[in-house]
Every structure is written in C-alpha cells, then in structure tokens.
Amino acid sequence: MPRLSSATDLERFRQEILARRDPNKPCVTICSGTGCHAYGSEKVSQAFTKEIQRNGLQEKVDIRRTGCHGFCERGTIVVIFPEEICYLRVKPDDVSAIVSTTLVENKMVDRLLYEDGNGQKIVHEGEIPFYKHQSRVVFGENRLIDPKSIDDYIALGGYNALAKALFEMTPEQVLEEVKKANLRGRGGGGFPTGRKWETTRNAPGEIKYVIVNADEGDPGAYMDRSLLEGNPLSVLEGLIIGAYAIGSHQGFVYVRQEYPLAVENLNVALKQARDYGLLGQNILGSGFDFDVEVHRGAGAFVSGESSALMTAIEGRVGEPRPKYIRTAVSGIWERPSNLNNVETWATVPLIINKGAEWFTSIGTEGSKGTKIFSLVGKVNNTGLVEVPMGMTLREIIFDIGGGIPQGKKFKAVQTGGPSGGVIPEKFLDLPIDFDELTKAGSMMGSGGMIVMDEDTCMVDIARYFLNFLAEESCGKCIPCREGIYQMLKILNRICEGKGEEGDIELLKEISEVVRDASLCALGQTAPNPVLSTIKYFRDEYESHIEEKRCPALACKALISYYIEPEKCQACLICLRNCPVEAITGGKNIIHVINQDKCTKCGTCLEVCPPRFGAVTTLSGVKVPEPVLVGTEVIRKRGEGK
Ligand SMILES: Cc1cc2nc3c(=O)[nH]c(=O)nc-3n(C[C@H](O)[C@H](O)[C@H](O)COP(=O)(O)O)c2cc1C
Ligand code: FES
C-alpha cells in the first residue's frame, strides 16, 4: 500500500494504476447500491464470478461492484464496459446468458435491454431517456467506481482537487473560488456555501469543526445516501478542502442510523484514506492535519437541523436551540462549526478542479451548477436524476421520468420534502432553481420530487405530510408542537367528511402562527404543504367540506364502491375476493356491496375484470339501492326482468 507524501507521489501512483488497467478490457460492473442490493445484486455478482470462471474468462474480463446508478427501480443494473451495454432487472439466472451471449459471442441479450415506448431496444446506458437528458457531474462517477476501492477513485482523478488546494492555493484562495462559484447549499435553504465557510473561518477560537449532514430524513429522498454509499471519497475530499479553507482539523459525518451500507463504505474510505496519507496527520506531506469521526444519528428527522445535529454530536438529545448566534460561529461545544450537506461537499472538488467559471456556466442566474433530485411517485421512471439548475419540471417529469403511468393526467409535483409545497400543472414549465421554487410556494429542500396524478387528493397529501411533521416535531416549542397537531386534527376531520365552514380560514390562521413563532425551520416551514394545497387546490378543500366529496376519490371516508347492475356479469370474482364478505350475489345473480360491511379496501375495484368494469367509486352521492325482484336482488341482465 502506498503512502503518498506529495502531489507528485499522488500523480505517479495514479499513472501506475492507469498503466495496470487496459481501458479496452471488458469490465462487468454490477450496481451494489442499496436499491440493487435489495433486488439481489450480491447473488448476481457471485453468479458473474462463477460464470466467468466457468468460461475461462477470468484473465480477460474484470468484475466491479459499483455504487448506485440512480435507476434503482430497474435493479439489478449491470453495465458492461467499454461499450456501456446496459442490462436492467438482471437476476442471477440471467448471468449465464449474458456471459455466453455478450462476453463470448459479442451479441446482446435483447430481453434485458431497455425498451422505449415504441418497442425499440436501447443498448447503451447513456442513450436511455432516463439518463440521456441528465448532466451527471456530481453523481456520474458512482457507476464507474467500486466505493470500497480508493484506487478506483484516484484513477479517475480523485484527490487532484485536494492536491491543487493544498499545494497551489492558499486557504483564502480556496474560499474565494467557492464564493465565486456561488455554490449554494444542497441540503435545504440554499445558503451560499462560501459565505458560511467565511463566517466559521473568521469566528474567534482556535478549534473549528466541519460537518457532513447525511441525516436525510425526507420521505422518498435518497440522493445523499447514494452519494455517500457510492462515492464516499468525493464527499471526504470536499470536506478536507473545506477544512483547509476554514482552518479546521476535525470533521464529523453525521449519518442516519438507517444507512448501514453508507456507513460501511464510508468507514472503508476513511481507513484507506488514512493508510494512503490522504487523511490524518500531514496530509500528502503538506503539513495540514485533519481527521474525521463518524456519528450515527438516531433516526429523528429534526436531528438534520443544524443546531439539533450538533447537539446530538455532543452526545445530547438532538433538539434544536434558538439561533441568536449561528452554529457557524458557535456550534459543537460552542466552537465555530460549519455544516454542509453531502451533495454540497461532493461538489467542492469539482469546483476546485474545474474552476468557478466552469461551475457558474451551468445553471441559472441565482442557482449555479447541477442538483440531484429523487424523482418518485406517479411517474414511469423513478430514481435519482441530476440535472442542471434551470431545467423545467416538464423536462424532468416527462423527458427523464417518462411521464405519468397508465396514461393518467399529471396533477402536481411536491418538492422540498415534507415541508415543501405542491406545484400544480400550470407551473410545469418553471425552470427549477432555489428562487423559482420558493416563488411558486414550495422550495428546493434537499431535492425530493414526488409526482402526483389525477388520483391524488390534495387534502390527503397535506394531511400525510402534516402527520409526518407532527410525529417528527421534537415538541420543544409550543407553536410547532401544538400548532401542527391542531392543523392535523382539522385536516383529519376534513378528510373524514366532518369538515366545517371556516376550516380553511382556521388552517391559514394557525399556519401563520406556526410559521412565525416556531423555534426551528421544521415548524417554520411545516405550513407549506397546507398553504400551497389551499392556494392551488382550494376547490378540493371546499368539495370535501361543503359537498362531503373527494374529487380524487381517494379519501376513504368519503367514497363508496358500487357495482353497476348493468355491467355486472355475476362472475363471482369480486365476491370471492372481498376480504370481509361484504358482497352478496350468486352465479346468476348480480352482485351487490353491503355498504355497512364494506371497509373500502378497493379489492373489488382491482379484481373486477377490465372488460366488465362493473365496479365504480362514488363520492358525494348516495349509493343507489339494489333493485329487488321479490326479495331477491335483480338477476343477471336479461334473466331477472
Ligand atoms: C427539520 C430539518 C431537517 C433537516 N434535515 C436535513 C438533512 O437531513 N440533510 C441536510 O443536509 N440538511 C438538513 N436540514 C438543513 C440543515 O439544517 C442545514 O441547513 C444544512 O445541512 C446545511 O447544509 P447546506 O448549506 O450544504 O445545505 C434540515 C433542516 C431542518 C429544519
Ligand atoms: S441501487 Fe442500483 S441503481 Fe440505485
């Protein structure tokens, strides 16, 4: 193992690695991120090792287990280099076909390729629409490197930026470059990173800390996990550069408990970096000392808030405190502490390597660079997408995401995590950046993007997020603890058909108090889902309250399932599948749902054959009474009349 003690050493070592590697030698890369791991990538990987040996190809083909590629729903993802042949949904049983067909015969296994809407097969990863429209500058290396191999990272130019910072730039110059790049924090508010670094740097006190926020508590968001899991050294390199600029010698990575693979890969990365002389005392022989400690979070959303996170690192309960003095000045143990998000740190080496000018050439006036979003919900292609700031929602949802499944209508997109807001269809052409999203009543947050179709009830969505926030509120301040709870109570009753006149105004009134009087940004932003849904979908609230009707047919208390007698073929399918035996009827007798027994699970709707389409969902109207012939429900069409 080399001990790298100068920039020249690093470069020489990189050249040695590259000389050992033949870029034309086939390399089978198997995604081993959490998503693909859940699909069984471990077994796929073992199958490749076995099958390659069985075919006597071990000297001719390399195997590499990489980080997340972003298209997790199609896991396990296998890409064969140098052609970048991309196979999706690979199972261990597919491996022998891949080896014999692609590696031996140089042909494609068609059934494992991506198929576009026109039945066209796409061979190369970069040509799949999900990837084609992205700009993967921060996330791109995930698919190329084994996160447990520092050599892979170095081979791709890893630690170049650190060497440049340490040997060619003063800390002030590094700081100026980041300020010039106008990098804004990717973890929430979009605060200018350089300015925050400067505050910590200039704050009094010898001991200063730098921290990675990998708490990532937003439901549906997993970009930080995938970066930390797939390319931990890029985050670490950014952190060391930041520490150098700020004058810090101790860092922390705060990772949520639920991310075991990220912690495992991070710990491997830290050990390798220390062994190579890239972390610890006298980094790269520069005289700069810096080391990092990993702190496991306890799974509370509020612990991602800066002051709460720092309190947790101190070993106390992770609750926020009033920030009359910012954590950048007085954070962990009252020492200046600079906190940045995983993605923010991972962007830093790129800025140092390629320069602020390159970075500012991407993005919009106020938001530079790219942003990774976690695109989920009612969209055909879900996954992690990295796009330049300023790309429109339409491009993300329709070009990359492939539109809405089953030809349904797009209704809204929720951005910014639980405290974000919903954005309706009229804003589909909004170029997304920090400021535009805020203007539209939502926010960038950490990059969650939940797509909703016509079947989504907007009151129910507000209720879902408020429920999350009510559970996650630490309870320290009254406006947040009581205000969110009261808002949730109102939303619950509206969804249950017990909404009252004046509820909308009451929600708005409480929202104002919670927003203005809460201690931390959890409470301050909690009204966003309520206010934005009221702003753009007020008619849905009114329907629930005034007509006791849920237009999206989603709120259980306001809907009924009904079997249309004209369409029912008395096929017995719904009757047999109803878990509570709420359906009566017989072989030739039209089926009827007993509304008193029905639990509204929707099974009848799901199982009724589409060619009959006899089960419908009603809301705001009385369910028609069954037609009786004598004492029996009407017989099958034509027979009972
Ligand atoms: C309730 C709450 C939870 C938060 N969770 C996270 C989180 O999981 N990750 C994150 O980076 N920032 C989170 N933030 C934002 C952080 O407080 C902080 O602004 C951010 O880590 C700063 O990094 P940045 O400047 O690079 O964005 C959260 C804020 C609040 C109020
Ligand atoms: S985990 Fe494999 S693509 Fe995300």
Q: Which two tokens stand for residue 112?
A: 């494992």
Is the shortest distance between the CB of 33 and ligand 2 below 6 Å? yes
Alpha-carbon distance of 51 to 66, in angstroms, equals: 19
Digit-coded pLDDT (tens) for 245-293: 999 999 999 999 899 999 999 999 999 999 999 999 999 999 999 999 9
Q: Does the domain at residues 458-547 carry the CATH identifier 1.20.1440.230?
A: yes
Please name the amino acid found at residue 528: N
Percentage of the chain modeled with pLDDT above 70: 98
pLDDT of amino acid 640? 43
Q: 144-360: CATH homologous superfamily?
A: NADH-ubiquinone oxidoreductase 51kDa subunit (3.40.50.11540)
8 Å CB contact between 444 and 415: yes
pLDDT of amino acid 217? 86
Ligand having the closest approach to the CA of 302:
1
Is the shortest distance between the CB of 618 and ligand 1 below 6 Å? no
Q: Which atom of ligand 2 is nearest to the CA of 33?
A: 1
Whether the predicted pLDDT of 537 surpasses 50: yes
Sign for the pseudo-dihedral over CA of 212, 471, 498, 552: positive
Is the shortest distance between the CB of 211 and ligand 2 below 6 Å? no
Q: Report the pLDDT averaged over residues 226-248.
A: 97
Alpha-carbon distance of 350 to 347, in angstroms, equals: 5
Whether the predicted pLDDT of 636 surpasses 80: no
The domain 556-619 is placed in CATH, from the list 3.40.50.300, 3.20.20.300, 2.10.10.100, 3.30.70.20, at: 3.30.70.20
Digit-coded pLDDT (tens) for 43-98: 999 999 999 999 999 999 999 999 999 999 998 999 999 999 999 999 999 999 99
Q: Does the domain at residues 370-453 carry the CATH identifier 2.10.109.10?
A: no
Q: Report the pLDDT averaged over residues 151-168.
A: 97
pLDDT of amino acid 629? 62
Residues of the chain with CATH 1.20.1440.230: 458-547
The model's confidence at residue 641, banded by pLDDT at 50, 70 and 90, is very low
Alpha-carbon distance of 261 to 230, in angstroms, equals: 9
Digit-coded pLDDT (tens) for 341-366: 999 999 999 999 999 999 999 999 99
pTM exceeds 0.85 for this model: yes
Whether the predicted pLDDT of 220 surpasses 90: no
Residues of the chain with CATH 3.40.50.11540: 144-360
Write the class of the CATH domain 24-81+85-123: alpha beta
Digit-coded pLDDT (tens) for 382-392: 999 999 999 99
8 Å CB contact between 166 and 174: no
Q: Ligand 1 centre from 393 Cα, in Å?
A: 23
Is the shortest distance between the CB of 230 and ligand 2 below 6 Å? no
pLDDT of amino acid 118? 84
pLDDT of amino acid 417? 84
